[in-house]
Amino acid sequence: MKKFKFLELSKFANIIIPYIYSIFFHYMSKFAIFFLLFISCAQDEINPSADYVPKLAKGYAITHTYYTLSYSPSDRQAEYAFYYLSVASIKGMQERTDDFRIDPSVKSNPVTSTSYQGSGFDRGHLAPAADFKLKEKAMSETFFMSNMSPMTPSFNRGIWSNLEDKVRENALSLGGVYVVTG
């Protein structure tokens, strides 16, 4: 296991920024997707406040019960999603809901559940459904279309899925992690 450098970030306790998978960046093509994993030493928050996540010029914050995202109306997708991944959320028993739908928090021109039909792209989660098994509401909120990014099937079901699995492994071994995807 690699050694990590500790940083101080406002209200959060000591946070560790682990390695970013170089192979992940190798497979990126058209979409600029970055995946950072923040690991907390001690934190009870279900959804970290949008006040503590970076604000990007194009987007506005949408805060759901269990995750926050910065939504870009011009791109019609999230710039990033941010959430705390607890052991309880991973080990929860909630089954996948697959209730893809418009996010009522998107102010104009929302992506619909059929927007990618026939495009050859998957509806890839930024905040993955498998990270929100604690409650039905948590699971269901991950199916808002604002949390989707068009991904090639091989990317979504391959390296992206593998990376999501690694994040869950880290959360289980460390007792919980902060996750930023985008």
Are 78 and 147 within 8 A, CB to CB? yes
Name the residues annotated as catalytic: 125
Residue from 48, 67, 25, 43 nearest 171 by CA: 43
Rounded-to-integer distance, Cα 63 and Cα 61, Å: 6
Tokens of 138: 């948590």
Rounded-to-integer distance, Cα 144 and Cα 71, Å: 12
CA distances from 93 to 44, 69, 98, 106, 135 (A): 20, 25, 15, 29, 8
